[in-house]
Amino acid sequence: MRILLVEDDPQLGDGLCVGLRQSGFTVDWLTDGHSADLALQTEPFDLVVLDLGLPRLDGIQVLTRVRARGNSLPVLILTARDSTGDTILGLDSGADDYLVKPVHLDELSARIRALLRRSAGRISPILEVGGLRLDPAAQQVTSHGQAIELQAKEFALLQLLMENAGRVLTRSQIEQALYGWSDEPDSNALEVHIHHLRKKLGRDTIRTLRGVGYTLPK
Ligand code: CA
């Protein structure tokens, strides 16, 4: 799941970036509203964590533009303490949720998972396909009851395939979801992750459609 973090406070932004990555998200971080507005028009993010007090374009303006373009992606706003007015304005401008600073990372991660679950139309927090069971919060995977150890990118890839079970994902769709701007994956990185997943989960778990992409059959 690829998240755009927009926060101009360097310390907070860095902390959130590192923490959210540890929670298994692919995170890109921008520090002003104008850059965020541009990025949101070109990159397929799954969710935005948006500070309201930002240089160049404030958070409410970024949010208003996102919704004016008909973009329904989940937006979680970060507001300062004692700013109920900002929170109300944010929610009424199209935000889906908010957190008051100081931000607790565990709470932010949990709210992000809830928003992503809702935007995907899922009820259960646990993903289950065939004998596979994936818990995004605990970052655990079992196959027919057996615990499976996965690297971070393998886990993210499997989660993406499970969320889209039965659908074919193209190589570029997968790469855009899996890698942020600061990642520089080798050209065969995706094949390597697929190879490792098949080794751990069984050869037929993931199917390749030559020249098209990959799918995890339902
Ligand atoms: Ca700020």
The string of pLDDT tens digits covering residues 138-162 is 999 999 999 999 999 999 999 999 9
Domains, the chain, ordered by start: 2-119 (3.40.50.2300), 127-215 (1.10.10.10)
Instruction: Output the average pLDDT for the chain.
Output: 95
The CA distance from 138 to 25, in Å, is 13
Q: Tokens for 117, please give them.
A: 């679950």
Instruction: Give residue 182's pLDDT band: very low, low, confident or very high (50, 70, 90).
Output: confident
pLDDT value for 22? 93
State in Å: Cα 136 to ligand 1 middle. 29
Report which DSSP code applies to 126. Answer: S
Instruction: Give residue 135's pLDDT band: very low, low, confident or very high (50, 70, 90).
Output: very high
pLDDT value for 38? 98
Instruction: Give residue 174's pLDDT band: very low, low, confident or very high (50, 70, 90).
Output: very high
State in Å: Cα 9 to ligand 1 middle. 6
pLDDT above 80 for 34:
yes
pLDDT value for 137? 93
State in Å: Cα 12 to ligand 1 middle. 10
Instruction: Give residue 187's pLDDT band: very low, low, confident or very high (50, 70, 90).
Output: confident
- 7, 78 Cβ separation under 8 angstroms: yes
pLDDT value for 184? 83
- 196, 154 Cβ separation under 8 angstroms: yes
State in Å: Cα 57 to ligand 1 middle. 11
160-172: average pLDDT: 95
State in Å: Cα 113 to ligand 1 middle. 23
State in Å: Cα 52 to ligand 1 middle. 6
Instruction: Using the structure block, give the residue that is written with the tokens 């919060």.
Output: 137
State in Å: Cα 55 to ligand 1 middle. 8
State in Å: Cα 42 to ligand 1 middle. 23
pLDDT tens string 43-102: 999 999 999 999 999 999 999 999 999 999 999 999 987 788 999 999 999 999 999 999
Using omega within 30 degrees of 0 as the cis cutoff, is the peptide bond preceding 102 cis? yes
The CA distance from 174 to 67, in Å, is 25
pTM for the full predicted model: 0.91
